[in-house]
């Protein structure tokens, strides 16, 4: 299931948000923030056994 990801830089961290489901994460690099958001989405949908690719 595709989601929109919005990643912004705030001070020394990147903040990643999936506004469709209001899930957010962060990381020190763009790539880390994106990977952390993917993990957060997988955990959010864990009850449905969803996998984000």
**Average pLDDT, rounded, for the chain:** 89
Contact partners, residue 33, CB within 8 Å, separation at least 6: 7, 13, 14, 15, 16, 25, 26, 27
pLDDT of res. 10: 94
pTM: 0.82
**Once rounded to an integer, what is the mean pLDDT over residues 39-46?**
90
């Amino acid at each position: 299931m595709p989601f929109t990801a919005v990643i912004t830089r705030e001070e020394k961290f990147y903040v990643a948000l999936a506004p469709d489901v209001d899930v957010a994460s962060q990381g020190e690099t763009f790539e880390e923030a994106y990977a952390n958001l993917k993990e957060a989405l997988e955990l959010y949908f864990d009850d449905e056994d969803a996998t984000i690719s």
